Amino acid sequence: MEDVNPKVSIVLPVYNGEKYIKQSIESILNQSFSNWELIIIDDCSTDLTPEIIKKYIDKDKRISVYRNKVNSKLPKSLNNGFEKASGEYLTWTSDDNILKKDFLYELNSYLDKHSDIMLVYSDYELIDQDSKIIKKVLNKDEKWMPIHNTVGASFMYRKTVIEQLGVYDTSLFLVEDYEYWIRIYLEAKIAHIKLNLYQYRVHKRSLTSLYEYEVLEKTKQLREMYYNQLLNSIKDDEILAEFYASNRLYNIKKKRDNEMRLVIHYPKYILKVMKKNIKRIIYEVKYRRVKNVKNVQ
């Protein structure tokens, strides 16, 4: 006999996702783990998204859809979805991303076996608009959370997290996920498993592409919000702590010295540090130019 309630609740927020949502839903239907519910939150789509979703609802009782009364953006849509979730474990995905066949099985199994872990996340890969693999993303362990979003796109957490830490912050659109992971990281145990379980699509219409400069600025603000708590969380790792502190102070010489110390102790981090510095300079130059243009107008 099947369980009355689903073990895992998946929330899928969507806005005008007619191009890829079929692939996203199909990847959930093809999971090796079957005890799930899919809660789709339609954020006032104006394309064929509602018609596509209806076809799947008619075929599978595990799928339900709710439509926001007004366009509410991602954080609010996530909160709306999880209010309706009945699963013991929670996760969410986007209309343009794909769950690999054992995504639910592996993450669910890990939480079952490790009762002290509140959130588990895995590696994943980037795909392009034609679903071709661009690169594999090998996430770092949780201690790197103050430096960057180590969780990324592939994750699962216990429903008790919402009871203890609340819901997504609707004022932090674009960094609502990173802020939520920081909250969990600071209050509970999280874990990383070295399995490639998810495909994250990179294309011109994705939020990451449309708002790349805004994401950069909001990420800086987010780290400032939690600065003392994050710094305290890595105080036992002198190298990471100094690197994090120098990042905040923007002291170029000090930061360079600390980055050199960092890459000596963490050789695999050297390429990421170099790329990050180059991207940061490019972003800041472009951002200032855009800002200056707006001021002139």
Residues 267 and 127 in one domain: no
With pLDDT > 90 as the criterion, what percentage of the chain qualifies? 69
pTM over 0.95: no
Confidence of residue 242 (pLDDT cuts 50, 70, 90): confident
Residues 42 and 142 in one domain: yes
Query: Residue 256 pLDDT more than 90?
Result: no
User: Does the residue 180 lie in any domain?
Assistant: yes
Residues 73 and 107 in one domain: yes
The label of the residue with tokens 């981090």 reads 269
Stronger pLDDT, 205 or 198, i.e. the higher one:
198
Residues 166 and 40 in one domain: yes
Residues 129 and 249 in one domain: no
Full residue range of the structural domain in which residue 155 is found? 8-210
User: Does the residue 219 lie in any domain?
Assistant: no
What digits encode the pLDDT tens for the residues 107-155? 999 999 999 999 999 999 999 999 999 999 999 999 999 988 999 999 9
Q: Which amino acid is at 191?
A: A
Integer Cα distance of 279 and 274 in angstroms: 9
Integer Cα distance of 14 and 94 in angstroms: 7
How many domains in the chain? 2
Q: Return all residues near 287 (Cβ < 8 A) that are at least 6 apart.
A: 213, 216, 217
State residue 249's pLDDT score: 47
Q: Taking the C-alpha atoms of 227, 229, 230 and 232 in order, what is their torsion angle to the nearest 10 degrees?
A: 120
State residue 252's pLDDT score: 42
